[in-house]
Chain A
Amino acid sequence: MSPYVLALLLFSLGLGTTMTFASSHWLLAWIGLEINTLAIIPLMAQNHHPRAVEATTKYFLIQATAAAVLLFAGTTNAWLTGQWEIQQDAHPLPVAIITLALALKLGLAPLHSWVPEVFQGLDLTTGLVLATWQKLAPLALLLQIHPPNSYLLILLGLTSTLIGGWGGLNQTQLRKILAYSSTAQLGWMVLVLQFSPSLTTLAVSVYVTTTAATFLTLKLAKATSINMLAISWAKAPALVALTPLVLLSLAGLPPMTGFMPKWLILQELSKQGLAPTATLAALTALLSLYYYLRITYTMTLTMFPNNLSGTPPWRLRTHKTTLPLACLAITTISLLPLTPAAVALVAL
């Protein structure tokens, strides 16, 4: 792709998300979401492979539908309440429709079917952008609306964690596993949204860090399937040693950073008197943990018997850029002791 076009598209991606963050009018928020969608479409379809084009088409149809429903709900809200402000009190029906539209945009269960197929058709870099940057704008809108009915968000959250865990169990394609993982993590964020939006913000930031670290790891290992990870012990031993920690952080195990949001969310849910919800969420995290452990098992805990052409390369130092991965991996593994500081930061 021409560097000018690439710069334009990346700038548009940033612009779209920033517009949605900064807007207080539903129309402007919708414009930001649409700019985001349109900017990422050429990035997804840039290699012209039929599967990439299929993923792009599916993504476009889903996002356009969600944006149209959002616009419709915003308009209905303006009609019923007489104002377009996002943060003002809104009529409950449009708010419910907006919640569902944003759930479709994010890929929350039960509106998650598009996520694995779309991720499978993309390369890992574009998948990374889709899994991290594209989630920010809809989450920003979700944080600002005040849903009157608490059951919808809890239902979306629990279903997402459940289906995100179950769906990823029998996958061997890594991109599909990460797609289901993204659904599960978003479920956690949405569970606590109405009780403590600052915890959702914290969960989003930790999710972005851990998911980005995972995607960059897979990109460095050039692996798209579980068995491709099996031979990476010979190619990048340090990465193979670090990846289990990154994946266990994504799973939410202490003492990694990923434990922070899960712990605080469970605490908040218990404080709100939702102990069964908290228990169910914690149990569904075990399902996700199973497939993260499976990847860890294949990559690190077993030594593939390749002693032929998968031989160790004569130089282990790679020419690829590893600085972002290094920073993200450190952030993913070691920030748990800073929990009080993080809570104070997001509570502002």
Chain B
Amino acid sequence: MDNNSCESSRLKCLFLSWPASPSARLLTSVLPHHQLLLPPLSPLTIPCRTKIQRDYRRPGQPIENKYPLNFNFSKGIEGIKKHFTLMKDEFFGRWVGPEGKPLIEHILEQNLVIWKFRGPESLEQWTVSSDQEIGGQSEAHLKMGRNDNTCFLHGKLSSTIPRDGETRYSGYCNMRSKTPKASFDRKKHYDWSSFNTLHLRVRGDGRPWMINIATETYFSHQKDDIYNYFLYTRGGPYWQEVKIPFSKFFLSHRGRIQDSQHPIWLDKVNTIGFTLGDKADGHFQLEVDFVAVSKDYAHTEEFAYEMYERNPKRERIE
């Protein structure tokens, strides 16, 4: 009965208020329905995905309505200070060298710590999400570890499937870094092309985690392309130093491993994330000391996966 009424209301929405053109459909997904009296005639401007990155918005949550503008002087002044400071740093950083570091550092660097958790402000660079966005019951929380020296991701995984009629699997939690931003909220990328290994110091609970790296893409159908590799934690009181060469990362799109693989290009990396989705209900925890990249000269492998010919032509037997 419930399903029928849901279905009928959905159909009603479809036929009565579904706009015709793609641009209008996009608009209705952004603005609430009552604001849209007439569908627009021309496509409206959309902020360029490759230049601007909004903060993470959980699917299903309404888009933050900026209009009418809430005029707040102190917030405005804070924003001006922050953005102009970033711009000044960028400007003067160019005099020092590429990426704001002296060239000698670029030539000699073999290890670079990207994220280290040394205070509560380091947690603001990370976003935590779980399957609660799709109606699941897992929980995930991020806090500082002991002595404010590590970050502690903990929670409870639950693979109870949300009852919406379309989800078939559930039970995941994720911790993902935010895209680095230059002044005025422009996207910045990490350039890890001098390095070939990911170096982590973690203390897990024995569960298998997955590391996801997202790079900058050009086409919109590539925006969910992520490079993954496994992180098997040992559990126990001892810290674990994990070194994963970037040549081992494989490509997946929306969780599905792709047939045609290629090595990850490290000159425009956006985010790194840790995901747990091992279908085992219960509590979990992961403590991370630092996330670094390093150059291992002994590792000369370019890509770990060979591409075979798919759908080989069968010889005709006569």
Contacts and interface: CB of A to CB of B under 8 A. Distances in A.
B99 interface: yes
B218 A227 contact: no
B191 A172 contact: yes
Given A48-B260, A172-B99, A227 B107 contact: yes
Contact of A50 (B94, B98, B262): B262
Contacts of B98: 170-172
A33 B87 CA distance: 42
Main secondary structure of the interface of B (DSSP, over half): loop
Contacts of A224: 193
A139 B28 CA distance: 50
Given A170-B94, A170-B97, A302 B265 contact: no
Contacts of A48: 260, 262
Contacts of B218: 50, 53-54, 57
Interface stretch (A85-93, A104-112, A254-262, A305-313): A305-313
Interface string A30-57: 0000000000000000011111011001
Given A57-B218, A170-B94, A306-B297, A51 B107 contact: no
B194 interface: yes
B262 A308 contact: no
B106 A309 contact: no
A171 to B, nearest CB: 6
Contact of A308 (B97, B99, B298): B298
B217 interface: yes
A103 interface: no
Interface string B277-300: 000000000000000000001100
Contact of A226 (B107, B219, B225, B263): B107
B103 interface: yes
B267 A227 contact: no
Contacts of B225: 50
A294 B262 CA distance: 32
Interface string A225-269: 111101100000000000000000000000000000000000000
A294 B103 contact: yes
Interface residues of B, number: 24
Interface string A170-181: 111100000000
Given A173-B267, A225-B194, A50 B222 contact: yes
Nearest to A229: B107
A120 interface: yes
Interface in B52-88: none
Nearest to A54: B218
B107 A302 contact: yes
Contacts of A230: 107
B262 A49 contact: yes
A304 interface: yes
Given A50-B262, A57-B218, A225-B194, A172 B106 contact: yes
A310 B222 contact: no
Contacts of A304: 107-108
A18 interface: no
Nearest to B194: A227
A75 interface: no
Given A50-B217, A50-B265, A172-B98, 8 more contacts: A50-B222, A51-B265, A172-B194, A227-B107, A227-B108, A230-B107, A302-B107, A309-B298
Interface of A: 47-51, 53-54, 57, 120, 169-173, 224-228, 230-231, 294, 298, 302, 304-306, 308-310
24 contacts: A47-B262, A48-B260, A49-B265, A50-B217, A53-B218, A54-B219, A120-B267, A169-B94, A170-B94, A170-B97, A170-B98, A172-B103, A172-B194, A226-B103, A226-B106, A226-B107, A227-B106, A227-B107, A227-B109, A227-B194, A304-B108, A306-B297, A308-B297, A310-B297
